[in-house]
Amino acid sequence: MVVNIQRRRGALSLLLIVIILPLLLVFATGLAIARRFNDEAGLVRAMRQQLSASLATYDPDLYQQFGVFGVPVASLETSVYQVLVPDRFATSAAVLSAHTGMLEPSALGRQIARTMKLRLPVLWLDQIFRLTGLPDGSEGLDQKDLAQIIGTWPGGGAIASADSVLPEGAMPEALAGPLSDLVRESLEQVTEEDKLEVLEDLLDRLGDLAGQRAVIAALPEASRWLSGLTGWMDALAAGPQAPLVQKAGLTEYCLAYLTAAVTIRQEDGKSEPLQTISGLDLKDLAQVRPAEIERIITGTEDPDAARRRVKTVLIAARSLVHLTAILADTEELALLRAQAVTLVAILAGATGIVLEPESITYVLALGQAIFRGNEDVTDLLAGQAIRLIPPSLLDQALVVSYADHLRLMLLILPTDTLLERIGTCIRRSFPQDYAVAIQFHVQAPPGSGLALKSGLVMELSYALE
């Protein structure tokens, strides 16, 4: 009996040695692998947090003045990473550096394109209404028209109340009360599902245009319409990159953020200060950043010289327009011929020199055109708007300002030249180096178990395609 018990105890020991120990080794190996994966995930998380924190240190003054994001390269440091990194990689060599400079033409062009592309249609419509003097229609839109434009919800429930359809006092009191109750009851019948269905249908149409239906369908129901609209607008801002749209965006960017010689608007005897698109007063801003647009157009660093050159070009252009108008006006040209004949007669009687009256006529026409061109430029520099084409050439009044003439000059410049000079303008006010994309490289020490022998590299950018 004793022998049998000893044999059973030996079998149990053998079981522990043969089966349990290998299982423990397997579990220990799995635990080590899990710890390594957890540490690597922690390393990636620490790197991401460091990149996000570094991008959050962009210069707000730079963004307010020029509308572009930039992280000061001198401020790049790894304090967030050092706190969050797992102990296994605490001694890793970590380098946070600028990957793409903010003023590199491609990166700067992408930022400006994303900033201005969605604003271009509104700016162009505003220019058309202002140039032609046509009303934009908002003042003449009454409440009835507004209600018809808005429409109704499914099920016949009107989304406009009785007070918004008819102004106060336009209906009898006996009718106003029942009608208001009817509208209120109609609104109560419209369920949240009906409203969401209308929004989703609208966003499906927008998604068809931008190719975003699959993305929208994958989003949660509660945020489907808002996220879809955001993605559609982001896709619209990102592309396609049409050269004409890019040039127009650069031009409007200059007029929206940079300073010019004219800082006020004169209209109907009233003076109104001009502001940048960020709400900064151009008059105050021009004290420290004088004539930036003129310097971009002329390519000179001297603001006074840039103003003079632009003024000369404007006088020449306006004089040419007035000369064309004078030569096309038969009555004014006949009057100038009469003056030329008189001058030739006086000169011949006094000196005996006989000149050709026709030549003197053109000299007088040129002098008159230069005089009128100079008057136009004086009005433009005073902040007033002038007619683009004189009445003798075009009856329709096309009113232009100093900014409109700058717009035409900017459109003539090559895109590469314009981007380079915009970058020079920004660097003039913010001379330190800025990055629009940053890179974080971690080289793990030997024995750390990092899967990538060459280390781990991550990038984050403001201007992704």
d(CA 296, CA 409): 10
Instruction: Give the CA-trace dihedral at 94, 96, 99, 102, to 10 degrees.
Output: 180
Which residue intervals of 300-439 are DSSP H helices?
303-328, 330-351, 357-381, 402-412, 415-429
Of the segments 74-83, 206-215, 417-426, which one has the largest average pLDDT value?
417-426
Question: Which tokens is 84 given?
Answer: 């969050």
What is the pTM assigned to this prediction?
0.67
Residue 109, number of CB atoms within 10 A of its CB: 21
Question: pLDDT for 161-176, tens place per residue?
Answer: 334 434 444 444 555 5
CA distances from residue 78 to 46, 48, 75, 442 in whole angstroms, order as listed:
10, 11, 10, 11
List Cβ neighbours of 330 (8 Å cut-off, separation of 6 or more).
Answer: none
pLDDT over 70 for what percent of the chain? 67
pLDDT at 405 > cutoff 60: yes
Please indicate, yes or no, if residue 171 is contained in any of the structural domains.
yes
User: What domain range includes position 212?
Assistant: 141-237
The verdict on residue 275 lying in a domain is no
Q: Helix, strand, or coil here: 179? A: helix
Q: Is residue 375 part of a domain?
A: no
Residue-wise pLDDT for 251-299, tens only, equals 989 999 999 999 998 887 788 898 888 888 999 999 999 999 999 999 9
Three-class secondary structure of residue 99 per DSSP: strand
- Nearest by Cα to 123 from 115, 90, 194: 115
Q: Which two tokens stand for residue 162?
A: 């009785």
* 211 found inside a domain: yes
| Secondary element (H or E) of residue 460 | strand 456-461
The average pLDDT across 342-358 equals 75
**Predicted confidence (pLDDT) per residue in 302-323, tens digit:** 999 999 999 999 999 999 998 9
Per the structure, the count of domains in the chain is 1
- Domain assignment present for residue 75? The answer is no
pLDDT confidence tier of residue 202, bands split at 50, 70 and 90: low
Asked if the bond preceding 240 is cis, omega within 30° of 0, the reply is: yes
pLDDT at residue 327 greater than cutoff 60: yes
Give tens-digit pLDDT for 140-166: 444 444 444 444 433 333 333 334 434
Decide: 416 and 81 in contact? Cβ < 8 Å.
no
Helix/strand/coil percent split, the chain, to 5: 65, 10, 25
Q: How far from 397 is each of 194, 216, 279, 403, CA to CA, in Å?
A: 49, 48, 30, 17
For residue 213, being part of any structural domain is answered with yes
- 55 within domain boundaries: no
Q: What is the pLDDT of residue 268?
A: 78
Helix or strand (DSSP H, E) at 101? strand 93-101
**51-55, 76-80, 456-460: least confident range:** 456-460
Report the SS3 class of residue 1.
Answer: coil
* Cα 436 to Cα 72: distance, rounded to the nearest angstrom: 9
Residue 178 lies in a domain: yes
Read off the pLDDT of each residue in 341-349 and give the average, rounded to a whole number: 78
